[in-house]
Structure 1
Amino acid sequence: MDQLDRTLLELLQEDGRMTVSELSKRLALSRPSVSERLLRLQERGVITGFGARVSPAAVGRNIQLIIQISELKVAPHEFEKRIVLDADVLECHRVTGTVSYVIKAAVTGMDALSTLVERLLPYGNVNTSVILSSPVINRHVLPQE
């Protein structure tokens, strides 16, 4: 991966809707060269997809939280089959240490938070933390030089 690929990744992470023509101008490369680089980065799994970032609060999910599940009472694959179906769950990570899973969720209010916790209780010990602020979100990911 060269400096042009790094710059291409940075530009796309700033604005995923940037056209190939705009990328071409910013990188001083032909459109076919940019398209080829994009395809190569996708084929190598560096770029895994394109999408819009949606503000949970703007769509009525005013409470975001981190949930830790420890002392899992079911097999991990059983828990994972269930958690992927929960629309309140934004992210779920199986982790090392005393906690089995770390989940990021967004709910509409305290009643929805309570309901989510009740849904998770059969799977293990549940510890919730409401997110007050997020000083770092969606940081650009670039390869180490």
Structure 2
Amino acid sequence: MKRLRYENGDIDRVDEKILAELTANARITMAELARRIGLSAPSAAERMRRLEEAGVITGYGARVSMPALGLPVSAWLRIRPIPGELQRVAEILKAIPEISECDRVTGDDCFLARAHLASIGDLERIIDMIIPHAMTNTSIIQSSPVAQRLPRIPAGEDE
């Protein structure tokens, strides 16, 4: 598989450092980012601009505590639509605001969705919206020993 290339070549170690720093803290100042990666602020800003233009950096955001928002129950739902209901199930999932992310996946199930809820009763309500059109298997999240993070980026061919 080819590595992503952008205007000035492959993603290099400096780009990886930029991505790691932004993943850890998207609000880092340009001066602090430049200091941490060993570049001047204008050079760091130019690197970020190129990563944005190449579609490597697609946005910036905040990490939000769901329990602090009154949503202490999180669950993964594995969803297998009944024949002919795939598109309808996708639309139902899009319309449920408690579902924060959903992927279409390979294997026995077609969708893997993450929901954040105020109660188990809310989870039951969500499942009841889906089950006329699909089978579900639900796992309540107890904890997350690995927080969302940037995966290891494969080394380039010339390294």
RMSD: 1.5
Between Structure 1 and Structure 2, how many residues are aligned?
Answer: 145
| Cα deviation, residue 105, structure 1 | 0.6
Partner of 1:89: 99
- Structure with a larger share of its residues in helix: 1
Instruction: Give the conservation status (yes or no) of the 8 Å contact 1:90–1:105.
Output: yes
2:30 to 9, 20, 34: 20
- Indicate the percent of aligned positions where both proteins have the same amino acid: 34
* Stretches of structure 2 lacking an aligned partner (at least 5 in a row): 1-10
| Cα deviation, residue 144, structure 1 | 1.1
Tell me which moved more, 120-129 or 101-110.
Answer: 120-129
Code of the residue aligned with 2:12 in structure 1: it is: D
Partner of 2:3: none
Instruction: Give the conservation status (yes or no) of the 8 Å contact 2:85–2:134.
Output: no
Give 4+ residue runs of structure 1 displaced > 6 Å after superposition: none
Instruction: Give the conservation status (yes or no) of the 8 Å contact 1:74–1:123.
Output: no
Instruction: Provide the TM-score with structure 1 as the length reference.
Output: 0.92
Matches within 5 A, 1:1-145: 1-145=11-155
Instruction: Provide the C-alpha distance between the structure 2 equivalents of 1:98 and 1:63, rounded to a whole number of angstroms.
Output: 25
